[in-house]
Chains A and B, each alone.
Chain A
Amino acid sequence: GAVVSQHPSRVICKSGTSVKIECRSLDFQATTMFWYRQFPKQSLMLMATSNEGSKATYEQGVEKDKFLINHASLTLSTLTVTSAHPEDSSFYICSAPLAGAALAKNIQYFGAGTRLSVL
């Protein structure tokens, strides 16, 4: 079945550094990918929609200069947290919907998530 691989699964960094998270669709092409953030004991909040070959669409309140998204190919989207601070510590999850009939049914596959801890 379709698989979405997210890497790294865990990252610990110092305040002020930038962190890149990758999301890959392993056996299908994804023209769109979604990035979510989940704070402890809270639900997933959509941050942005990543579109292959064009600019990402950010949700209200999400700083696009802080969270850089690149979707350079049909199988890879990256989220870069620039100049990370402790308040950026969170669980980040990506998802990719299948195209075709599955798209109409809203079948999405989720990565395993990345736990970011900023010291």
Chain B
Amino acid sequence: KQEVTQIPAALSVPEGENLVLNCSFTDSAIYNLQWFRQDPGKGLTSLLLIQSSQREQTSGRLNASLDKSSGRSTLYIAASQPGDSATYLCAVRHGGATNKLIFGTGTLLAVQP
């Protein structure tokens, strides 16, 4: 059974710092991995999606890497801003026809002004 874990569970940083969020998964037979942002009481916003054949994806200040063989992914946020404060979730999709996503436990990020 696939299990997805995120470390740390919570993180507080001053504005301007670069930071790294970690995601690990137990079964490396994934189709792709996705990072989401969730604001309190709201739905999910997709940030980056990495296919299993890719090593990283970049969007603006965000960079996500994937090491499928070791079951790890990181989300790097450069020059953090208070508006980045949210819960960040990673999710893996298994191979095959299903679109089922298995979500990680999440990291609650607070960027202090």
Chain A contacts to B: CB under 8 angstroms: 6, 32, 34, 36, 41-46, 49, 91, 93, 95, 97, 103, 105-108, 110-113, 115
Report whether A115 and B41 are in contact in the complex, using a CB–CB cutoff of 8 Å.
yes
Query: How many inter-chain residue pairs (CB < 8 Å) link A and B?
Result: 58
Main secondary structure of the interface of B (DSSP, over half): strand
Report whether A106 and B106 are in contact in the complex, using a CB–CB cutoff of 8 Å.
no
Report whether B44 and A110 are in contact in the complex, using a CB–CB cutoff of 8 Å.
yes
Contact check: which of A43, A93, A97, A105 meets B49 at CB < 8 Å?
A105
Q: What is the chain A residue whose CB lies nearest that of B108?
A: A41
Contact check: which of B32, B42, B105, B108 meets A113 at CB < 8 Å?
B42
Contact check: which of A32, A45, A110, A112 meets B99 at CB < 8 Å?
A32
Residues of B within 8 A of A111 (CB): 43
Take A91-B41, A106-B31, A115-B41 as given contacts and tell me if A46 and B105 are in contact as well, using a CB distance cutoff of 8 Å.
no
Contact check: which of B4, B99, B102 meets A106 at CB < 8 Å?
B99
Contact residues on B (Cβ < 8 Å of other chain), bracket: 20 to 34
B68 at the interface (CB under 8 A from A): no
Residues of B within 8 A of A107 (CB): 46, 49
Nearest 9 interchain pairs by C-beta: A112-B43, A110-B44, A110-B43, A44-B103, A43-B103, A97-B99, A113-B43, A43-B105, A106-B93
Most buried by A among B31, B41, B45, B99: B99
